[in-house]
Each structure stands twice: as structure tokens, then as C-alpha cells.
Amino acid sequence: MKKLGFGCMRFPMDGGKVDVEAVKAMVDEFMRRGFTYFDTSYVYHGGDSEKVLREVLVERYPRDSFTITTKSPVFMIDSRESFRRIFDEQLARLGTNHVDYYWLHAINADGYRKVEDLGLVDELSELKAEGLTRHIGVSYHDSPQLLDRILTDHPELEYVQLQLNYFDWESPYVASRECYEVCARHGKQAIVMEPVKGGALASLPEGCLGRLRRVDPDASPASWAIRFAASLDDVLVVLSGMSDMAQMRDNTSFMEDFVPLGEAERAAVADVATELRRGMRYDPSSLEAAQDACPKGIGIVKIAQMMNDHLRMGGRTNTCIYYDTFLGDAARAFACDDCGRCAGLSGDVDVPAMLREADETITHF
């Protein structure tokens, strides 16, 4: 199987609806070039993604010519019965009698507690035993430590879908590298989501673009991001949420006969990642005194780290998925009552203003 997958959460739109004819053309191009992996979920496009995939793919190509991955919306499930009912609904939406891969969607600490309470990994295993899915795993958004626990508790899980890209590789909260290394230690391959970080790594500052162009003047910024992820030994496939034919043609052009990054290319990507993290708005170390003085126990340092990423990526990040997870037991930004205890402790940073901005942006998804 080629290492590029079609992520079905950013289909082209026509007004408020998916542009089905445009998606058909993209699917045809994808399949024509030898790619076969399609990734959807119960909730993408307000529940329409699976239905569209039936129309553009399942009803137009032999079932053994493509691979479908979809996901169980754990955040909507309250019993084993609802797990199975939703799965049956997904098969009906897709117009197929089985899926190739089935994941528990967007697992974090809260989600894993529900998974354990309801025995949902057992449910996954039963679907596999019945031939209703060929492979099982989790789509994951939390710490390396929790991932290690999950894979230790459940070695029957075969794959992990991770947010992984060169910007988040050393992120203190996304922790792409550490999560990837946990998968490798457990002998699990990773499926990569957000390799271009919601499109942010396709729109780089000019200095970063120049660094990449010195190595390959013709390669698109997206190609560097996708190839970075695909070059990792334990990655099965890299998903790209392509929204138009131009993106489809670009992505398939460099992944059709995929070549891993060479030494000079790896060095260029590492330099760009370093440059993107240079000169962030907030120096987290300068905020430690303000955090120590906060009577509410707000996680000011961690919030600053997430705000830096959100601002550097032009507001196109999904930091909010990690907001509660990363803060743990610390109080959230909304707890700030502008008491003044932190005044003057963090140079010229207006900590209450930063917390208000955080509460208006990165806490909502």
C-alpha cells in the first residue's frame, strides 16, 4: 500500500454542502495514481463524510480495490449497545459490509476511562472476530505516558493514529516524537494525522521557505511535511486532508514513487522547525514567578506554550484538543480574576490579558 491516505474531513465545499462532483474527480485521480487508503469518521462534515464516501467511492469502485478506515465516536457513546448501534449505522452510511480499519476516536485520559468502564476494546475485538473490521486501534490525543499504559493494557490494539509533524515533533504537549517512540517500543505502526498541521506548514515564512528551496527549489512546502512523516520507519500511512484537485495532484506527485528524506533534507526540515520555534511571543521560563504567585493555581507556563504555537501557526492549530490534557490538575485560564498578584513578575507580559486571549481561542474546539 502506498503511504499517502486521503483524509476525508476537509472535502471541497459548494456553499454549505460537500461538492460531491469535485470529490469524485479527486477520488478518481487518487485511485488512478495507485493510492487506496481513505480515512473518515462518524462526525466529519457533520456526519456527511461517510455518506459522501459511499457515493464517490464505494458505489463506483470494486470493494477490494480500496481501504476504508472510520472511527467510533467514543465521546458520544454511553453503552456497549450504543457502540454497536453506531457501528451498524456507519456500515449503512458507507454502503459496505465491513471496514478495513476501525479506531476508537480521539482518545485522551477521559476517553480512556470510558473505554475501560464500557469494555470498548473488547467490543472492537468482537467486531474483528466477526469479520466486520480487519484491524483495530485508537486515534490518540494525549501524553506518551498514557499511550504506553493503553498499549500495555491492550496489546490486541494493532495501530495508533497520531498527530505527527515536524513542528510538533518536540512539542511539550503534542509530543509527536515521544508518542511515536512509544508505538515503536510496543511494535505498533503509526498512522499519521495532521502532517501539515491543518495547512499551517504549507504556508511558511519566507525565511523558512528559503531554507527548503536551497535544497530543492521545486518541492512544495506540504511535500516536506508529508515526506518528513512518511520517512519514519514505523509509519504505515500519512493522511492528508486534501481540499482541492491542486492539493491532490501535488501530494500524489511526490508520494506516487515515495523517496524518504535524505540527510540534507532532514537537516533542512530540522532547521525550519527550530526557526519556527524561535522568537515566540511568550518566554515560558519568564512566567514561572507569575505562576508561583497565582492564588488560583492557573497553569500559566503551559498555557503560554500552547498560545505560542497557536499564534505562530496563525490560529490554524488544534491546540484545544490538548488543552485540558496538558494542564492536568492546574486551574484553567478562565479562573483568572485579575487580582494583580502577578503584576510586574513577568517583564512586560500582561498575564491576565494573555489568559483572556487563551480562554477565547485555544480552549474551544
Low-confidence ranges of the chain (pLDDT < 70): 365
What does the pLDDT look like over 265-291, one tens digit per residue? Answer: 999 999 999 999 998 999 999 999 999
- Residue 314: its pLDDT value, please? 81
- Residue 365: its pLDDT value, please? 55
Q: What is the pTM of this model?
A: 0.94
Segments making up each domain of the chain, as ranges:
4-272, 284-360
- Residue 279: its pLDDT value, please? 87
- Residue 254: its pLDDT value, please? 97
The C-alpha atoms of residue 55 and residue 21 are separated, in whole angstroms, by 10
Residue position matching grid coordinates 500511512 = 237
**Cβ atoms 161, 141 nearer than 8 A:** no
What does the pLDDT look like over 197-255, one tens digit per residue? Answer: 989 999 999 999 999 999 999 999 999 999 999 999 999 999 999 999 999 999 999 99
- Residue 316: its pLDDT value, please? 74
- Residue 180: its pLDDT value, please? 98
- Residue 5: its pLDDT value, please? 98
CATH of 4-272, one of 3.20.20.100, 3.20.20.70, 3.40.50.10470, 3.30.930.10: 3.20.20.100
